[in-house]
Structure formats: structure tokens, C-alpha cells
Amino acid sequence: MISSPFCLRALPFGMRLGLSALIGVLAIGIAASIAHVHDHYENRDDRPGLTLDDLEGAYRGLDRPAQLLTTIEAGHPADLDPESKKILGDWLRGDRVVESYDDLDLGDFAPAELIAVHCLQCHSRQSTGESAVGERLPLDYFDDVKLLAYSQRVEPTPAAVLTASTHAHALSLATLTLVVALLAWCTSWPRRLISISIAAIGLGLLFDIGGWWLAREVAGGAGVVAVAGSVYNGGTGLVLLAVLIDLWLPLKKDTLPPPLTDPASGGD
């Protein structure tokens, strides 16, 4: 029983050392792929940081006009004269939002000036009165304005690229996870815990990679990818840690996993 190949702790020292080193390499790989996901998708929308919109944009594409533009076009504020409305609209639709914001050549018609005249009585941090919204929606500085001035237009990842990525990731990650699952099963952790964990990471990977395709078709699919990917990565990390711990715990007779039942002997 002690030499059972199904008990990691019973493996010779060299095997346990080698397996531990390989788990270390996997941990490095997981960290690198998380960093890669972050860098790769971060700038799909124009906002800093990895947001759901970045993922949504990567899979489905995004075409979301700037909030300032939709608000102005919807007729807010009610007393905005048509000329200023047109200038602000053209500015926000154009691709020189930063450069033209306080363009001196535009004089009183520079967006910054128009905003000062038509918006700041309510949208300044200094505004007071019942329609003051400067606390929540300030437009005092370009740093405020730009948060609402971004149009988000993102082309989705071409299907051919996604196919190539699916082919590489589905095969390698499923194989890797299979090995992780087998290792976990050879530990002395409670069977139920192992089986719940493996169910979670297996389903996590299925919905992660399946979600890439789902997200092309269905709004909100990117959320599925984000949740499933986190479950998969987090779960795999924890299972690997559990395997690593188990490799180096002392071998006791009662920590051995239950022997496999032999169907020929009547399940006894």
C-alpha cells in the first residue's frame, strides 16, 4: 500500500522534487498569462485599466458614442443654442477631441469655452443650487470632460484569429488541466473537496473558452468569460497549491487515499 502509485506522498524524493518544480513553472505560466490578458485587452476601450468593455470590445466589438455626445444630441441642456450644439457635436464626433478642446484658433467657439459658458453653472465643482451636479458630473477640466468625451469604437477580433487562439488554448489548457486533476486525485485531500474543485475548474475552462464564441454573438458574454476565467485560474492555482502541500506532508498510513475497489471482486 505504501508504494501505491496513487499516493503522491509515497513517491520517491526525486519525483516529489521534480513535480514541485513543475508546479512552480505552472504558477509562473499562470501569472504570465494573467499579465498577458491584462496587457492584451486593456486598451480595447480608451479607458485605462482592464474593464468589461475591453473584453466586450475584443469579442463583439464596441460602437458606443461618447456620453457627452448622446446627452447633447438628446437635447440637454434644453437652452443650448443650435450653433453651439453643432460645434460641440462636430468636436465630439471628430478624431481631434484632445487637440481641439481648447484650440486658440476657435476663440470663443472652442469646446472649452462653450462648456464654460453653457455647462459650468451646473457642472462645476463650485456650482450651488438645486440643479448643481458638479460633485458627481464635473466638467471643469479636460480631465473631467474626457471621461465623458470618449467614443468607444472597437473592432472585434477576427474569427480566424479567434479560431487559431481557440485551437491553441483549448487543446493545451484542457490537457494541462487533466494532469492537474489527476495529480489532485492522487493527494490525500478529502475526495469531495477535490471533486468539487475539479468540477469548478473544468466548467470554468469550458465556459471561458466557449464564452469567447458566445461573447461574439451575445451581449454580456464577456461577463461569462471574465467570471469563468477567474474561476478557472483561481481554482487551478489553489489546486496546484494543494498538490504542492500534499507532496511534502509526512506520509502516514491513514492519509493514504482509499484503495480502488476492484469490480471483479464484487465491489468489496
**Cα–Cα distances in angstroms (integers) from residue 45 to residues 149, 160, 212, 230, in the given order:** 12, 22, 18, 21
CB contact at 8 A, 33 and 237: no
Q: How far apart are CA 97 and CA 70, in angstroms?
A: 15
One-letter identity of residue 33: S
| Binding to ligand HEC, residues 73-92 (CB under 6 A) | 76-77, 80
Query: Least distance to ligand HEC from the beta carbon of 36, Å?
Result: 34
Residue 112 within binding range of ligand HEC, rule CB under 6 A: no
User: Which residues lie closer than 8 Å to 211 by C-beta, 6 or more apart?
Assistant: 221, 222, 224, 225, 228, 229
Residue 123 within binding range of ligand HEC, rule CB under 6 A: yes
One-letter identity of residue 47: R
Grid cell locating 257 = 487515499
Query: Least distance to ligand HEC from the beta carbon of 218, Å?
Result: 25
CB contact at 8 A, 53 and 62: yes
Question: In this complex, which beta carbon is closest to ligand HEC, that of residue 68 or of residue 181?
Answer: 68
Chain CA centroid to CA 196, Å: 24
Count CB-CB contacts under 10 A for residue 262.
9
Query: Least distance to ligand HEC from the beta carbon of 123, Å?
Result: 5
Site string for ligand HEC, 130-159 (x = CB under 6 A): -x-x---x----------x-----------
Site string for ligand HEC, 43-72 (x = CB under 6 A): ------------------------xx--xx
Residue 116 within binding range of ligand HEC, rule CB under 6 A: no
Query: Least distance to ligand HEC from the beta carbon of 111, Å?
Result: 9
Question: In this complex, which beta carbon is closest to ligand HEC, that of residue 88 or of residue 224?
Answer: 88
Query: Least distance to ligand HEC from the beta carbon of 118, Å?
Result: 4
**Cα–Cα distances in angstroms (integers) from residue 231 to residues 72, 227, 244, in the given order:** 41, 6, 20
Residue 125 within binding range of ligand HEC, rule CB under 6 A: no
Site of interaction with ligand HEC (CB under 6 A): 67-68, 71-72, 76-77, 80, 115, 118-119, 121-123, 131, 133, 137, 148
